[in-house]
Amino acid sequence: MDNRKNLVGRTSTEIGELLARHVDHGYRGRQVAQWIIDRNASSFVEMTDLPLAMRRELETRFIIEEPEVLEVVSSTDGSSKYLFALSDGVGIEGVAMREGLKATFCLSSQAGCAVGCTFCVTGAIGAGRNLLPSEIVGQYRAMLRRTETDIERVNIVFMGMGEPLLNTENLGPTLAVLSERVSPKRITVSTAGILPGISWLAGLEKRPKLAVSLNAPDQDRRQRIMPIARRYPLDQLMPALREFPLERGRRITFEYVLIDGFNDAVEDAVATAHLIRGIPAKVNLIPLNEDRRHLPELKRPPAEVVNRFAAALRDTGLTVTVRWSKGEDVAAACGQLRQRQTVR
């Protein structure tokens, strides 16, 4: 058993405190932290401004470990799905999406998901364990190393496997580490509406952007496709969102998965606009990403229906984007991540 402490998933301050007894000067800890957080180093060998003897000593006490990349599958649209193996053999998936010179990294926060949304394959496979900060930050590090883009052009979204706000114990330290290198304005946490988690997020000094999975304008239909809505109903969720603190220029993103014949009528668009009225908001419409094996009964609406729904929302003054998901040809689109079983 390796008893060395992992330095991945720790802030600069934490790294400095851990190393204080094992380096000759305090600034050495800052150097190591800079190598790991700013330069994305994966070994002490790379830290050439540290004495060789010190590097060897640190190697006996600490590791720089992240999830192992077992496979990267590239889509025809330029996005890539990553299969990661965790130290206990559990597999998770994440996605890197290229948009010109920009990149968006979609990170997983859990291995599986207990929320059980009926339109999501991850929910269909059921609950798994929470991921540690090193396992979440490690996904970002691995994608950054393999994606040729400037760090200033990277966005991070917690829209992979799992419900981030059911793992705030590890999400908090993760956000603290990521925000040392990536502005919170470029980090988005997506939730199915976990009210205690939303309250926790509201209390953070450095808040990422908030996205809420809505998917229906009324409680009855929302809880039919999102069982968690029974516990956190709309009549409690919407007041909490109205009170959520927003910095100047910030808006809450409402994600709305369009399902053929279920929630895609113009009347539903009008009701949705009425529901979120008064909240600084934008709406991301996501035409359902079909999975004929796991979710054969659910279909994507025709493009004309999607466009009609979007137009109805825009007519109310809302900012609307239709997200035709990337990576669908390699099962990397929104709601399609499924890897959870032991991979080694």
Active-site residue (options: 113, 117, 120, 334): 334
CB-based contacts of 85, cutoff 8 Å, min separation 6 = 67, 68, 70, 91, 343, 344
Contact between 278 and 242 under an 8 Å Cβ cutoff? The reply is yes
Contact between 113 and 162 under an 8 Å Cβ cutoff? The reply is yes
Q: Phi/psi of residue 333, each to 5°?
A: -80, 170
Contact between 171 and 164 under an 8 Å Cβ cutoff? The reply is yes
Distance of CA 78 to the CA centre of its chain: 19
For residues 35-57, b (16+ Cβ closer than 10 Å) or e, as one string? Answer: bbbeebbbebeebeebeeebbee
Active-site residue (options: 65, 66, 93, 163): 93
Separation CA 298–CA 91 (nearest Å) = 26
Q: Phi/psi of residue 65, each to 5°?
A: -120, 135
Cβ-based burial of 292 (10 A; exposed 0-12, middle 13-18, buried ≥19):
exposed
Kind and range of the H or E element at 305? helix 303-314
Contact between 286 and 256 under an 8 Å Cβ cutoff? The reply is yes
Separation CA 114–CA 129 (nearest Å) = 10
- Beta bridge partners, 319, equal 282
334 belongs to the catalytic site: yes
Residue 22 structure tokens: 């094992």
Residues marked active site are found at 93, 334
